[in-house]
Chains A and B, each alone.
Chain A
């Protein structure tokens, strides 16, 4: 039994990180009813941006660089929604989906041209530190930090959506676009804000994954799939669901890897996902949304 403690612990730590990866995709899917297929790629853009900043300004670390990366990526998200995706609103799910897919391809190839296909890592001294609990149980510090930052990010977003003026307007626009406009809300502008915030959260996730594992120009879709897993398991538009979805996905991957061997780590995560999709398609904490 004792040798299961480490995978359980790691699964929980991965869970917090996965939740951070999924929360932005979940927000946009819930609020704008848009599937941002470029979510993972924008995370990786943030990882590269952090890399450039650190190499240009040696006093920065991946963590302090967030002060610049978060607002920059907010702006990127805001502008993508306002000048690109908003043009396809009201035309159904497919047009914005295809535009986001195109954006994903452009970003990946743009990164390839700019940075070559070499593997990168955001280096931090935390990566080689760990706390010893027992001889068989260690806490890797970098994953502990990633998990805590992920959880903090979700709590912050929850607080923002439930307590602030802008958050209230975002929820109203998400509930009923026409009625929100009748309240004086410029919903297109609200969507741009929501996308800005979602991509700012993706920037945090990008830093977290960039410090915990290597990345290439084509790593984005890998995280997009994790983000999908998180929101399918947890349910769309619920912050607690995102957190739970991350935990379930993280635990099932790590425990699956432990039981069936490392090659089955990803597969066991997706089997749990498929099982949940079959028995609870709205996700663990998802609410069945009322139409209109």
Chain B
């Protein structure tokens, strides 16, 4: 399976009203791979991610997932295809308990049947969620909420997870833990796209990176091969 392309974006343009945020982006994710998309604020990273999830319909280009055209799909349809997203700011449902937040993650008919078993698996992976199962999701600390958001995304039994700015506002020690979990999740065969402003951590975790600048791809390559000079130049555009 490794080596097959799971996600393929061709010549994507995305507009917010009259303003173009993404220009002619093309990228691929291989099955089982972790890629990172880094760049400054407003570089179009999150917009690209939102387009893949179906939250932002692209104005041009094509998005293909496991060989199927998903360009025009709505978010609730991309989830059914096997794409989960951990949104920026976590977006835990405030009126749902931790357990209910997890169960709602398994809303698609495919995942729904195995929801209880999947929930137990998440508790094993993240024991804190099991301990806090009956508390309101928003009573958890920031780091725990991020873990809950990841657990909730896993509940849909995805083949690809999109992480949008997961380290935003979290303490370095917690970020380290979360990255360890991402690697663990990836080892189970789930492909990962990391969108980050935290360059070092995401470059280390990924086997391929795209550096975005003002809506364009400024540079892409194997993080192990790219020099710090090249990354800096592409990131800051100087």
Looking at the complex, which of A50-58, A95-103, A174-182 is the stretch in contact with chain B? A174-182
Q: What is the interface size of chain A, counting residues whose CB is below 8 A from a CB of the partner?
A: 19
CB distance from B103 to the nearest CB of A (A): 7
Say if the beta carbon of B95 comes within 8 Å of chain A: yes
Name A143-190 residues within 8 Å CB distance of B.
Answer: 168-169, 171-172, 174-176, 178-187
Interface segment, one of B11-19, B86-94, B203-211: B86-94
Closest to B86 in A: A182
Q: Once bound together, how far apart are the Cα atoms of A172 and B152, in whole Å? A: 13
- Supposing A168-B100, A168-B103, A168-B104 touch, asked if A182 and B53 sit within 8 A by C-beta, the answer is yes
A178 to B85, CA, bound (A): 11
Docked-complex contact B87 and A174, CB < 8 angstroms:
no
Question: Can you name 22 A-B residue pairings with CB atoms under 8 Å?
Answer: A168-B100, A169-B104, A169-B107, A171-B96, A172-B96, A175-B93, A175-B95, A175-B96, A178-B91, A179-B93, A180-B93, A181-B75, A182-B53, A182-B55, A182-B75, A182-B79, A182-B84, A183-B79, A184-B76, A184-B108, A184-B156, A292-B89
Contact status B96-A182, CB under 8 Å:
no
Pairwise interchain contact A181-B55, C-beta atoms closer than 8 A = yes
Which residues from B are CB-within-8-Å of A179?
A: 87, 91, 93
A-B contact count (CB 8 A): 63
Q: Is A290 an interface residue (CB 8 A)?
A: yes
Tell me, in angstroms, the Cα distance from A185 to B74 when the chains sit together. Answer: 10
Which residues from chain B sit less than 8 Å from chain A, CB to CB?
53-55, 74-76, 79-80, 84-85, 87, 89, 91, 93-96, 100, 103-105, 107-108, 111, 152, 156
- The reply to whether A178 and B55 contact each other, CB–CB distance below 8 Å, is yes
Chain B's nearest CB lies how many Å from the CB of A167?
A: 10
Which residues in A have their C-beta under 8 angstroms from that of B55? Answer: 178, 181-182
Chain B residues with Cβ under 8 A from A182's Cβ? 53, 55, 75, 79, 84-85, 87, 91
Q: Which residues of B contact A292 (CB under 8 A)?
A: 89
Known: A168-B103, A168-B104, A169-B107. A186 touches B93 (CB 8 A): no
